[in-house]
Chain A
Amino acid sequence: MTTFDIFQVVLFLGVLLVLVKPVGAYMAMAFSDTPNGVNRVGGKLERGLYRLAGVRSDEQMGWRRYAIAMLVFNMLGLFAVYALQRVQQWLPLNPQHFDALSPDLAMNTAISFASNTNWQAYGGESAMSYLTQMLGLAVQNFLSAATGIAVLLAVVRGFTRRSTDSVGNFWVDMTRSTLYVLLPFSLVIALLLSSQGVVQNFKAYVDVPLVQHTTAVETVKDAAGNTVKDASGKDVTKQTTVTTQTLPMGPAASQIAIKQLGTNGGGFFNANSAHPYENPTPFSNFIEMLAIFLIPGGLCYTFGSMVGDRRQGWAILATMLLIFIPLALGAIAAEQAGNPALHGLAVDQQASALQAGGNMEGKETRFGIAASGLFATVTTAASCGAVNAMHDSLTPLGGLVPMWLMQLGEVIFGGVGSGLYGMLAFAVVAVFIAGLMVGRTPEYLGKKIEAHEMKMASLAVLVPCALVVICTAIAVMTPAGVAGVANPGAHGFSEVLYAVSSAANNNGSAFGGLSANTPFWNVLLGVCMYLSRFLLAIAMLAMAGSLAAKRHVPPSAGTLPTHTPLFITLLACVVVVVGALTFLPALALGPIAEFLMSVR
């Protein structure tokens, strides 16, 4: 690892930490009911929306009503995205005349965007019309992120409210998150990205002449669509000379801004943030990484401020960093070390003033090793899933880090809102374990943690774990599951494990070699994404409801303080131990086996 690699991590986290407090304080203001600068400016629009939708903003919802509003709203969004994909061929803003997507692919994509996963079994520039991207995908980018924040706010109210059955109003939380946080931040980010070269227009694709003509090689297919084979059993290919290049266009910057900020991750183009029109410069890359952590990081501060003890928020943030930093450095070091398979060849993988060196397969020159390795860690620590390098081509250990970060349950920053409520579930488990050690009823933030809370927290922790393990087993035991695998050996297993880990933790990144656009994979991963997202949210809302009904317990001599280095260490250990115990056997068959084979 070079000093430049380390400097990139320090610079990134430094800028992030400077922004956490102002962004967190702003969000605390934006979500509150008391008159303030934010609702003075936006209050009129906000109230107008409530009036049109027939929403009473002063209505307080119990957790069940809150959950139902959340589920209905997200289900409608899901239907809208599905419908748009199925009829896009008849709608405007489709200059490339893309046809309707298949039902299973459209369903997978609709669930994917409604659940903030943004797994993509399609290629944006070769399948989706501008209208579908704008009205379907981008809208869900906003609303799924706003839903995550709303559920988090309800969970935090469970801790702050006393002896009540209400956890807030879903419509108010969702609207404020969208109007006051996601929209203005996205606007700024979109313009910054556009200044760097991210396209933003409604033009048809542009054809340009190639300086040097090139050759397209395609397999020949018969009338039935099967590849034609020659006498020796090889595919017959046809060569054609290509003289032009078709440059994709579209309203990309606006969508990419919210894709990063809302930890969505669904690329406008197939290559996602590796595409030069989606992430053209190192500065755009820095903005995109920062956008991923901005809200999850800031929400830690918002949380501390809402519970009236900012140290609680800083403690959660410190726990996240404690796990994030070594994993980021580890991934970068693994990539910088290069690919041992190329050692015998006349290839220079050494870093120098003239090149980044390292494992450059699947990486872009402008990002090199440091900005690619850091992006891969950031996007999987948070449940973003945007990629600026192809994760399938990462070294075994460099690929293990993103995979394991997802398997930890997307709580190291995690999704917008959902990362923090996931981490609060782990915090509840941590105080419970501490309580068992000393034989006292555990408390967290002044609330007694009892059987019901533990059941819900355990559900939240175990549902994604169970989905990953069970669905990976189903996939590797089914011919239809194995059929999609592209790479041989242990790496092929990693492709399957990565895909299921990504879907069942609502990340959305992929080991892209896996051919996932088949009915089997579309359905399996669709089910994973939906169950994980909404079962977790419901469990956490149920916990919030039961917590809100409790009285406040003043801290006593026997209360475990939850802002100390001791608790930070304990919480980090719980997260790591659950992740390690559940997934080490599976990881041993995939990336660890591949690593041992590669060093021999």
Chain B
Amino acid sequence: MTIESAIALAPAERAVNLIGADLTEKSLKLHLEGLPGVDAVGLEQRAAALGTRSIKTTSKAWALDTIIKLIDLTTLEGADTPGKVRSLAAKAVLPDASDASTPQVAAVCVYGDMVPYAAEALGSSWSNGSDNGINVAAVATAFPSGRSSLPIKIMDTKEAVANGADEIDMVIDRGAFLSGKYGVVFDQIVAVKEACRRENGTYAHLKVILETGELNTYDNVRRASWLAILAGGDFIKTSTGKVAPAATLPVTLLMLEVVRDWHLLTGEKIGVKPAGGIRSSKDAIKYLVTVAETVGEEWLQPHLFRFGASSLLNDVLMQRQKLTTGHYSGPDYVTID
């Protein structure tokens, strides 16, 4: 064992409760590597089987509305402008201008510097820390690569929170994780969680992006999910959307299973957010089925499950229009994003 492994880690409450007061790199590593391995074939088969359900008529109408309520409407481009963020916010408030009964999305997800524009554009629809309304989520900690020092990541997070972000989507340091330095990743998540603290003592919700497309194995995904939960994450999120493969059904199923296990163990409810690559209503419905069958329908609420998506919303709206009008709709009847 190296000397490093004896270094004590930040005493995050969940980890201390589970692993014990003697929380070191070594004890964390022993814990994570002691998790049972993932049966990859079984996992993929289970995910494929859950994707075969046929959801029609009233169930489909319910599913489409639920999907809209669970969407984090996202724009994370280098070319984002305040105007683009304003139009995104307008769409979040009124997704389908031709049908006022369309529900609003859960949140808009933007880069940290765009938070003030998003909050302003949402206006009275902005939740601003309350339980009602649309949240503003900001990506932080050197998104999407996560390649910067901890002080910069903390500054990045604090700035977004000070700007009014209700939710912070942080990326883990995949380089540290893959080289086995679980303690580094753990400490960073704890530090960022603390940076999410607002002046009034409440916390912005922390979503931890695992970037499963870079973790290579299902075992790593399970360990990273467990690690993110132990360090205090409120949500575990699959991907940044910048790396292929982004969210896949098996990976999301695996993360849901971790969340289920954690719930059975502690009674706490952790959220899951698949992000990237979910573009059609049909795909999104498969995720709903997977959530309902793995952790229960209770999870189909904005504070426990989200879709990170941008183009998905238009497809859902077109499907919704098909159900209300009885004929197929087309891209001319939804916004160009």
The reply to whether chain A is a binding partner of chain B is no
